[in-house]
């Protein structure tokens, strides 16, 4: 019989050792455990602290993540919190080169911030809610509606159903009724084309070798994103709590 520890036993032992040595304990929010298909009750902070009495649960910065400045800007979130920003930069660069308005360029730059900072499901809605207090109404609307529009072709502007979706979702995927209803509302809206342009710049934006630079958008963001003087998250806007959660994703309460 082999009495070597299994891989998972070794991982458990390492985790236990780390929790004894670190001076902080991370208790995951429910969403993280659901993402693992885990329906067990949340870990007991007091029991974990019993094994390591000097440790505390996090009530602010997570030492494993890049340090945010005291008064963070949108650009700081791009640099310190958003993952894989190159898709956003490529989309915005594409819109810029095509000569679209600053509103459209900004909408392209921000269209998937829900995905890169927060959550995939309904990412258009989450992203729109995050930016709504800081951008022109049309930009937030366009980000929200790209959630639905990307599933529906518009031959008049040359937008076809993305081949990638056929691969990702299978050939039989049909958008749910709420998406269809949202599409119909968007289709007849005065800002339809702003949101449609997000989808048009989106599908051509997956080039891993493209050279893109966040600095190219500093001026457009400066002119079109109302950066709160207190720092994004500290400004008491209707979405400030969302930015704080992204700043402190492991805060205990
Ligand atoms: Fe998207
Ligand atoms: Fe996208």
Distance 195 CA to ligand 2 centre (A): 12
Whether residue 92 is predicted with pLDDT greater than 70 in this model: the reply is yes
When pLDDT is cut at 50, 70 and 90, the band that residue 53 belongs to is confident
Average the pLDDT over 196-223 and give the result: 86
Distance 223 CA to ligand 1 centre (A): 24
Q: Which stretch of 3-12, 23-32, 136-145, 146-155 has the lowest confidence by average pLDDT?
A: 3-12
pLDDT of 14: 65
Place of tokens 């900004």: 106
Distance 212 CA to ligand 2 centre (A): 15
Ligand showing the shortest atom-to-Cα distance for residue 86: 2
Residue-level length of the chain: 253
Distance 113 CA to ligand 1 centre (A): 8
Whether residue 140 is predicted with pLDDT greater than 90 in this model: the reply is yes
Q: Which stretch of 8-22, 45-59, 90-104, 226-240 has the lowest confidence by average pLDDT?
A: 8-22
Rounded to two decimals, the pTM is: 0.89
Place of tokens 């819109």: 95
Nearest to 133 by CA among 223, 237, 23, 246: 237
Average pLDDT, the chain: 92
pLDDT of 100: 97
CA atoms within 13 A on the CB side of 131: 31
Residues near ion ligand 2 (CB < 5 Å) are 112, 202
């Amino acid at each position: 019989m082999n009495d070597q520890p299994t891989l998972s036993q070794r991982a458990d032992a390492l985790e236990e050792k780390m929790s004894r040595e670190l001076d902080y304990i991370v208790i995951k929010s429910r969403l993280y455990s659901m993402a693992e298909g885990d329906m067990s009750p949340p870990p007991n902070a007091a029991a974990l602290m019993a094994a390591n009495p000097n440790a505390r649960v996090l009530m602010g910065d997570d030492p494993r993540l890049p340090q945010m400045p005291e008064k963070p800007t949108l650009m700081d979130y791009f640099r310190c919190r958003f993952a894989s920003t190159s898709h956003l930069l490529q989309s915005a660069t594409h819109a810029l080169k095509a000569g679209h308005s600053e509103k459209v360029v900004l909408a392209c730059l921000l269209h998937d911030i829900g995905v890169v900072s927060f959550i995939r499901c309904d990412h258009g809605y989450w992203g729109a809610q995050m930016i709504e207090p800081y951008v022109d109404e049309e930009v937030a609307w366009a980000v929200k509606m790209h959630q639905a529009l990307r599933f529906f072709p518009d031959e008049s502007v040359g937008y076809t159903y993305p081949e990638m979706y056929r691969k990702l979702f299978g050939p039989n995927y049909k958008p749910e009724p709420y998406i269809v209803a949202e599409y119909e509302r968007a289709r007849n809206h005065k800002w339809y084309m702003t949101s449609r342009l997000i989808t048009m710049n989106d599908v051509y934006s997956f080039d891993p070798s493209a050279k893109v630079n966040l600095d190219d958008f500093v001026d457009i963001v400066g002119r079109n994103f109302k950066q709160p003087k207190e720092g994004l998250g500290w400004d008491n806007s209707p979405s400030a709590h969302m930015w704080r959660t992204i700043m402190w994703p492991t805060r205990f309460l």
